[in-house]
Structure 1
């Protein structure tokens, strides 16, 4: 009973913390994240979903990813459905990749780069189809995708060990 309470309460609280931290970082460091034409987007919630996918059953993670995708869409984007699709897709892809790869910090970091690249590319194509962006592919790669991947790699290095220990304590 206590174990179920810990996982069903503390895991959503950890995801919520990183969800809010995404927005806080964007507000605090907006000048640094939006320097000239370069745009860096923190995706801490994606980092958390990927890392938790290694420790928490897929069915539970899919539910959390759908719920937080809906909340992310309504809170940050305003178009419902974008992250509701992307977050479960990230959890599913991570689940499939972890079965064939040895989940050490370097592999997890590479999985984060792959998943973030898929998310950012999907978002670029989605917004281009809707007419919300007019930048070309080369500009997207150089000014959006590259800086976003670099920022999130640094964030991954900063939060990996404490987050991993937190998840392991919750699971104990």
Structure 2
């Protein structure tokens, strides 16, 4: 049963991101900032470190494709970026200590890389029309603040859940 909790958690976060974006009051801060929840990728990053890197990348592909199909008009951006973010994160974490504080800080860095990568891809295909300084001020910084708050609340529960998942994989 524990093996099914991780996919259910990731599916819940996938749906919750969309609901959160819809329910977040647009007029906060006079509507000048865009807060993008990246709760799913944070969970995938924690899964890759405390659970299984193979499962982190596999779920990155699956949920990246689902993210593209549901939330974007171009298939492939998140399909490519989610597993790449997990892979980069995992390789960084091999070089440093894997305590929860370092994992949280590197997770925020990977969220910033994901947001910047998606922005650059959208800029290349002429979907984005703002310069990088505007993007940083309007979207990147508020997104990092929101997601850092999420990490502060859920880092420890994610760590415990994914360690249990890794134990169940080893015991099977």
TM-aligned CA distance change 1:121 to 1:34, over 3 Å: farther
Q: Could you say which residue in structure 2 is the equivalent of 1:103?
A: 98
Partner Cα distance (2:12, 2:119) in 1: 26
Of residues 57, 63, 73, the one that matches 2:58 is 63
TM-score by length of 2: 0.89
CA deviation string 1:103-148 (max 9, x = no partner): 1222112211211111111111122222222211111111111111
TM-score by length of 1: 0.89
Cα contact 2:48–2:57 (8 A) shared by 1: no
| Structure 1, unpaired ranges of 5+ | none
Cα contact 1:66–1:87 (8 A) shared by 2: yes
Provide runs of 4+ in structure 1 moved above 6 Å.
Answer: none
TM-aligned CA distance change 1:159 to 1:128, over 3 Å: same
Partner Cα distance (2:90, 2:101) in 1: 16
| Structure 2, unpaired ranges of 5+ | 168-172
TM-aligned CA distance change 1:35 to 1:104, over 3 Å: farther
Partner Cα distance (1:106, 1:25) in 2: 25
Cα contact 2:52–2:166 (8 A) shared by 1: no
The number of equivalent residue pairs is 167
- 1:29 and 2:24 aligned: yes
